[in-house]
Chains A and B, each alone.
Chain A
Amino acid sequence: MGPGGISTEIAYVLGQTGGLSRTPADVFNTVYLVFLILGTLVGVVVIGYTLTKAWRYRDDGERDDESESDKVVRPVLGHLPTGSGGGKKLFVSFGISAVIVLSLIVWTYSALLFVDDTPPEVAAEGEEPLEIEVVGKQFNWEYTYPNGHTEEPTLYIPEDRPIRLKVTAADVWHNYGISEFRVKTDAIPGQTTTAWFVADETGTYEAVCYELCGSGHSAMRGDVVVMEQEEFEEWYANTTDGSTSASVNSDVTGDTDANANTNAADPAATEGEA
């Protein structure tokens, strides 16, 4: 599948007409917003309805049982349950809720495909993603760039360019996440997971560990510095002390298939550059 194949369609499904500049963060924020609105709506309606009914049918000692609810058979001590009506209403509301839930989830499925896909070219110039390896260790993050350069504990990245992360751990289970860019993935010893994101604004952000990993877990944070593209290129040029063979791997154009992120343990890929 070519770059942006699936994702173009998804961009379409998601109603983005503004070109390819969607990022996982945008997708998350859209889906979250829709869920929040619908969730609040459903919550207010259901809880409102429940409260109204409860109040309406309170036993204030005034309502005459017989006249108002002649159809209701009250439970009697020691009697086996007999069927109680209301089944139809039950199924209608159940049906409605099922439709809401199912359509919401089906709709988000396309978003999932987008996020799980390899990063598309976002910039008009067709810039390929920057692939960075991340190793979590008690209690820090270590980054390896395509040229073999390693950084710790700060991540330097260019703005507006897809960043593809290959994440693993050296000791225990961690979880790598940058809240601002809505990217997160597990860092598991012996496994490699992938995730991608785009930083659309320069500045300093935070990468945080989201899985309990020991006594220093609460402090396992590192800065993420987003630079303008030229600034980054400059910085990056000064780091080319890594091995040249590493560049092979940096050639990740959009040609990897959609399943690339599904490969499980592939320590060889990690070691190849270290």
Chain B
Amino acid sequence: MTEHADHDHEHHLPPKSSVKRWLVTTNHKDIGVLYIITSLFFLVAGGILAMMIRAQLWTPGGTLLGGQGYNQAVTSHGLLMVFWFISPFAFGLANYLVPLQIGADDLAFPRLNAMSYWVYLFSGLLFLTSFFLGSSLAGGWTIYQPLNVPAFIPEVNQVGSLATIFALMLFVAAVTMGSVNFLTTFYRMRAEGLRVRDMPLFSVSILLTVWMMLFAFAALLAAVILLSFDHLLGSVWFSTAEGGSLLWAHLFWFFGHPEVYIVFFPALGVMAEVFQTFSGKRIVGRKWFVIAMALVAIQSFVVWMHHMFLTAINLPIKTIFMATTIGISLPFDLMVFALIYTLAKGKIRFKTPFLFSFGALLLFILGGITGVFLGAVVLDYQFRGTYWVVAHFHYVMFGGGTALIGGLYYWYPKMTGKMYDEFLGKVHFAMFFVGFNLLYFPMFVVWETPRRVFDYAAEFTMWHRLATVGAFLFAASFLVMIYNMFKSLHSGEEAPDNPWEYASAGEWAVPSPPPLENYPGVPSYAGGKLSFLTRSEAADGGTVVEQEVAGTEQTAPDGGAIAHAGAAATTPTTDYAEELALEDEHADHASIWPFAISASAFVTFLGLSGISKAYFIWPFVFATGFMVAYFGIEGGRREGFGWIHPVVMALGGAIAAGGAYLLAIDKGGLGAAIDGASVYFWLTTVGAFMGAATLTQLGFEEFNVPEPAIAEQWPFEAVSNVKLGMWMFLGSDVILFGAFIGSYIFMRVGHGWTDWHHDFIPEAHVVLPGLINTYLLLASSFAVVLALVAARQQNRRRLLGYLITTFLLGVGFLINKAVEWEHLFHLHEGAFADGWTFTTNIASSSFYITTGLHGAHVAVGLLITLYLIVRAYNGAYLGEEEADTIEHFGLYWHFVDIVWLFLFPLFYIL
């Protein structure tokens, strides 16, 4: 329904027909569409690789791809599908629909949302680029160690392998930003009267998914950071014979098992929505369905070792993990039965969305039953590393994918305003479902085929050929889908607001596609039904608040009569007049910086993939100098010059000049340094400078995002969006550091806790520098507290003074650390005649990288402090509310401080 005018231009947003619109938009619906299209692109990429795999398997020991090529295809296929296709596809739907379903006008942090998307896209592009840098990673999507450290990767493939690892790192960054954003949105921006448990089930499933994502991906991030340092700097985390392999397995599967539910939950949410709509029934046992999901989400973090039953773990641990694994399958039984019983007494219409969701349920039942086989440890022993596992996880994961495709058909009319072609949809389903089973079921039959191997017993040939035929049918079915989507976009029937009888969620109460601001007023569920509050001028000059109940007119299915939702039942009320006035605040919807920052990240990491160890740090030193100087320039230009600006510029210049001086010493002259720099060095430098500039621009950009004045915010009524977001981010950071510290303890226990010191650590590694740094950080935390007080009291000079104190103390911390490291690097002590560096042993690797990660947090904090100083100079942050920014920074800074209080004893005293 597009009777409403396109208001978009009023929000500085170019029309949808312009390319620029898609680069600058921060609107959740646009970004949802971008996610969906991009993820389908990666589906095609991963699909082409899958076709190559299946072609190779046409005969045992096929020769289409070589040994390395086959491994590369298998690995990239897995990574692309699991990371770059299925979750982003689900999050495309979530981006589009969650705000509509919960009554928000956008996500809590629209620019951050855009950034998640762009970082995701560029991470995928970096992945694809890795194919052209020798080879992408070829050691399996599980990236087991030590196969994937440089020692076991041919020289020519190392750049590409590292690029793949960085791609994964960027992807995780995107996911973390997305999780923080969604969590804040869920807890702060629900429509009035909408309790968490009453949200549509798709939104419930996404809420639980982002909770799992926040923590699980932090563990993966830790693993990937460690791995990237093994590549970049030659640290020895995963090449250490005592426990390196197992360390990776633990970290990976601690992430990996929740990941399987992260993939599956959104699908479950879609199934629940579609089942309810197309059977015309509320789901049976809704409460239990939600409780079961929540249980699974929590329990998913305590089953990871069932992927390691054949490692040397002992019987009691095996028993525990067997129990938790079986335990986690039980809530799924309940959910499956709930879906099945929802069909009873329904009025089931076998439209395409339902067919896909129904098919997904059948596939999931099969996947679940075969999962119980795996839960029996004696059976798992033999299934491990075979096609049984391959078949099982395709049935569950792509079973989930099946439901998501149903979701795409279900919401296609809402997103495009056009109906898809029902006949083609059914054709797609038929080909898809037959192809799917033809492809994957034979894998159960010939499960004795080893996984990731292209040779198999000759008597299996028939079955593998069947699977290959199925694969091509399956792939072809997607061509039908893509054709349908394109065709319908141009010539599909107009879609009404609600094309589906019995649909109940909020998105169907607004036009298709919804206008930029989503609702014709402020949505509210107070009273149990969706209504919209609007404010208008009354004849006597006062304000009148009108409440329209949504969806009071039933819309005819199949697009007959198009009724506008919420036409009837207008009740004037007088409540809310004040809050509604607040809701009218102007909101921004366009910013180019998320795109620009992500592009910079792409260039930077592309460069880092090939940079040599000796050059790694310099681009960042120069970029930091540049960024600091740029703070001064932009701050002065935008807000008026004062003494602070030249000081900051000079500081930036000094950092850069100092860096150049040190580099020259290090390389024997600046000329020699430049001659020795590879193209990767220049790429990194360009990327880092772009990043410095674009981040600064983002910081100075005026971008208004009003918080809702009328909203359900339990249990976070008292905190602002930004503060809640900061908490969520720090929550994931806790896991990140926890994983680092846990890894250190794991390796140390593996070696022998007390021998560690004796075997690995030089005498010169003393307590004093750590102790001094502890005092410096504590003092700086104190200074931040005082800065906050000063800001609240609107005392500009004291605010500036305390911020500068914080900055100086932090700088002291870093300098002290640099001196300490420099000393240790260049030791000539007995066993450490060549110094104690990243590569010396696992103790040095863990010391430098863990405290280095912390140091990076300090450095970021200092850049933010400088930015705050520049802004505070011109009077920012003064006042009760304005001071919130200082408070949020304080949260971060105290957190960094607390982390140090853990690291100091662990790495200096114990």
Which one, B146, B276, B344, B379, contacts A189 given CB within 8 A? Answer: B146
B271 interface contact, C-beta 8 A: no
**A30's closest neighbor in chain B, by CB?**
B378
Q: Given the complex of chains A and B, what is the CA–CA distance between A54 and B322 in angstroms? A: 35
Are B376 and A72 closer than 8 Å at their CB atoms?
no
A224 interface contact, C-beta 8 A: no
Q: Which stretch from A82-90, A148-156, A232-240 is at the chain B interface?
A: A82-90
Are A57 and B348 closer than 8 Å at their CB atoms?
yes
B890 interface contact, C-beta 8 A: no
Which one, A27, A172, A210, contacts B450 given CB within 8 A? Answer: A210
B385 interface contact, C-beta 8 A: yes
Are A78 and B504 closer than 8 Å at their CB atoms?
yes
A13 interface contact, C-beta 8 A: no
Are B345 and A112 closer than 8 Å at their CB atoms?
no
Are A75 and B280 closer than 8 Å at their CB atoms?
yes
Chain B residues lying within 8 Å of A80, measured Cβ to Cβ, are: 193-194, 198, 525, 528-529
Are B369 and A98 closer than 8 Å at their CB atoms?
no
Which one, B330, B338, B377, contacts A108 given CB within 8 A? Answer: B377
Which one, B198, B315, B319, B452, contacts A217 given CB within 8 A? Answer: B452
Are A217 and B67 closer than 8 Å at their CB atoms?
yes
A258 interface contact, C-beta 8 A: yes
Q: Which stretch from B238-246, B296-304, B715-723 is at the chain A interface?
A: B238-246
Q: Given the complex of chains A and B, what is the CA–CA distance between A265 and B287 in angstroms? A: 48
A179 interface contact, C-beta 8 A: yes
Asked whether A191 and B312 contact (CB < 8 A) given A31-B376, A90-B288, A179-B448, the answer is yes
Chain A residues lying within 8 Å of B379, measured Cβ to Cβ, are: 28, 31-32, 35, 108
Which size class do B's interface residues fall under? 35 or more
Are A57 and B378 closer than 8 Å at their CB atoms?
no
Are A108 and B280 closer than 8 Å at their CB atoms?
no
Chain A residues lying within 8 Å of B448, measured Cβ to Cβ, are: 179
Are A191 and B311 closer than 8 Å at their CB atoms?
yes
Q: Which stretch from B359-367, B584-592, B688-696 is at the chain A interface?
A: B359-367
Q: Given the complex of chains A and B, what is the CA–CA distance between A43 and B140 in angstroms? A: 32
Which one, B330, B340, B498, B531, contacts A53 given CB within 8 A? Answer: B340
B530 interface contact, C-beta 8 A: yes
Which size class do A's interface residues fall under? 35 or more
A209 interface contact, C-beta 8 A: yes
Q: Given the complex of chains A and B, what is the CA–CA distance between A53 and B358 in angstroms? A: 12
Central interface residue in A77, A184, A185, A219, by most chain B CB within 10 Å: A77
Q: Given the complex of chains A and B, what is the CA–CA distance between A68 and B531 in angstroms? A: 32
How would residues 132 to 155 of chain B score, 1 for a CB under 8 Å from any chain A CB and 0 otherwise?
A: 000000111000111100001000
Q: Closest CB of chain A to B563's CB: distance in Å?
A: 11
Chain B residues lying within 8 Å of A89, measured Cβ to Cβ, are: 284, 341
Asked whether A210 and B386 contact (CB < 8 A) given A84-B284, A188-B246, A217-B71, the answer is yes
A272 interface contact, C-beta 8 A: no
How would residues 248 to 263 of chain A score, 1 for a CB under 8 Å from any chain B CB and 0 otherwise?
A: 0000000000110111
Are B140 and A212 closer than 8 Å at their CB atoms?
yes
Central interface residue in A108, A192, A212, A216, by most chain B CB within 10 Å: A212
Q: Given the complex of chains A and B, what is the CA–CA distance between A80 and B286 in angstroms? A: 12
How would residues 237 to 276 of chain B score, 1 for a CB under 8 Å from any chain A CB and 0 otherwise?
A: 0001111111000000000000000000000000000001
Which one, A59, A65, A85, A184, contacts B381 given CB within 8 A? Answer: A184
**A102's closest neighbor in chain B, by CB?**
B326
B455 interface contact, C-beta 8 A: yes
Docked complex: A180-205 residues within 8 A CB-CB of B: 182, 184-186, 188-193
Q: Given the complex of chains A and B, what is the CA–CA distance between A93 and B341 in angstroms? A: 10
Are B334 and A90 closer than 8 Å at their CB atoms?
yes
Are B312 and A84 closer than 8 Å at their CB atoms?
no
**B146's closest neighbor in chain A, by CB?**
A172
Are B348 and A54 closer than 8 Å at their CB atoms?
yes
Are B384 and A210 closer than 8 Å at their CB atoms?
yes
Are A78 and B450 closer than 8 Å at their CB atoms?
no
Q: Closest CB of chain B to A232's CB: distance in Å?
A: 26
Central interface residue in A39, A84, A85, A98, by most chain B CB within 10 Å: A84
Chain A residues lying within 8 Å of B382, measured Cβ to Cβ, are: 28, 32, 177, 179, 182, 184
Are B281 and A72 closer than 8 Å at their CB atoms?
yes
Are A210 and B451 closer than 8 Å at their CB atoms?
yes
Chain B residues lying within 8 Å of A208, measured Cβ to Cβ, are: 450, 453
Q: Given the complex of chains A and B, what is the CA–CA distance between A54 and B362 in angstroms? A: 12
A-B contact pairs, 27 of them (CB 8 A): A32-B379, A50-B365, A57-B346, A59-B280, A59-B349, A69-B345, A78-B530, A78-B549, A79-B504, A84-B282, A84-B286, A89-B341, A90-B288, A97-B330, A105-B375, A108-B378, A115-B381, A172-B152, A179-B448, A189-B244, A192-B312, A193-B312, A212-B74, A213-B147, A216-B67, A217-B67, A259-B315
Known: A98-B330, A101-B372, A261-B315. 7 other contacts (CB 8 A): A32-B379, A35-B376, A75-B282, A90-B288, A94-B333, A186-B312, A210-B450
A-B pairs, top 8 by smallest CB distance, nearest first, are A210-B385, A77-B551, A262-B314, A78-B530, A190-B241, A86-B284, A84-B282, A75-B504
